[in-house]
Amino acid sequence: MTKNYITETITKEVSKHISSTCNKCGVEKEFEQVDDYIFNNYSHRINVEFEEGSIYENQRWAFDLCEECLVALVRTFSEAPEGIQANKYPRESFEHFKLTGEFDEFSGYSESEKEEVLNKRKEYLAKQQAFIDRFKC
């Protein structure tokens, strides 16, 4: 049995997400499409599902926040959100983030701990360089 094919052009209407408006500040961020990837330009969708017992039971809220508003909101938190970058002192890391909006790998470190880490890095780099130098002509 032989399969037979024809080629036809199909025109169909599709909806395309082209921008998001921050629910907090109202700024609209346009999306950029490059090939098959859509850059959402630092707009974040937040989904909340209210469970049984809540006065909002069975409601699902969804809203968009621009990155500036999201970071500003998180900086008001008393506890760090899961997944946020931290070093071995998560409390101090998060407090530094709340003050500056940035991560400092040495938040909470004593001067001697910081020096120890930096010295280990120097030693590691020196070993790497020595290894590389072994193969130089």
| Of 66 and 86, CB closest to Zn ion | 66
Question: What character string, x for contact with Zn ion (CB under 5 A) and - otherwise, covers 23-62?
Answer: -xx-------------------------------------
Q: What is the DSSP string of 117-132?
A: HHHHHHHHHHHHHHHH
Is 86 a residue that touches Zn ion (CB under 5 A)? no
Give the nearer residue to Zn ion in terms of CB position, either 69 or 86: 69
**Which letter does DSSP use for residue 112 in this model?**
H
Which residues in the chain belong to E strands, given as ranges? 19-21, 28-30, 32-34, 37-39, 43-49, 60-66
Query: Which of 46/99 has CB closer to Zn ion?
Result: 46
Rounded Cα distance, 72 and 28, in Å: 17
Site stretch for Zn ion (CB under 5 A), options 6-14, 16-24, 53-61, 117-125:
16-24
Q: Residue 64 interacts with Zn ion (CB under 5 A)?
A: no
Biggest distance spanned by C-alpha atoms of the chain: 79
CA distance 121 to 128: 10
In whole angstroms, the minimum distance from the beta carbon of 56 to Zn ion comes to 23
Site residues for Zn ion per CB under 5 A: 22, 24-25, 66, 69
